[in-house]
Amino acid sequence: MKGFIKEILIAVVIALVIMQFIKPTIVKESSMEPTLYANNYVLLNKQAYRFGQPERGDIIVFHTGLKLENGKEKMLIKRVIGLPGEAITIRDGLVSINGEPLDEEYTKDGFTDGDVENLVIPEGEMFVMGDNRLVSVDSRVAEVGCVKIDDVLGKAFVRLYPFNQIRTF
């Protein structure tokens, strides 16, 4: 009996440690197509920015001030486009960072709507957008704006489901 209790305690401790570093999440909407689709199952690294800095291209889940119909907070999953101190411009469907156009092969339509003119991203914040730019609610919208690094729940590092589309990010 002692051995059984010891094994259960070890399993509980391992589970608690894993929960400190990894959070599973399910994609709910289409704003990250074609990279992620609704009902994709993704694992997040909850400690990604505790020891490192965000990089352009990271896919993150973050807290917002937006609310769901049931009153709960709406979290969003988006791609990091602009980093602290960079100037972002969106004009004529193209995104530029510090005057250099971005090569964004991951976007659904290859076009970014909206106009942003030389927005300098504040320290400790990021400019994020979905890959499906025509439907994405992201940093281009005042209600979201630039995202504080402290508001990031985690960085997506693997898609586990559907099983035939498992991949790392």
Residues carrying an active site annotation? 31, 78
Phi-psi region of 141 (alpha: psi -120 to 50; beta: other; left: phi over 0): beta
Q: What share of the chain is helix, strand, coil (3-state, %, to 5)?
A: 15, 35, 50
Cα gap 113→120, rounded to integer Å = 19
3-state secondary structure of 121: coil
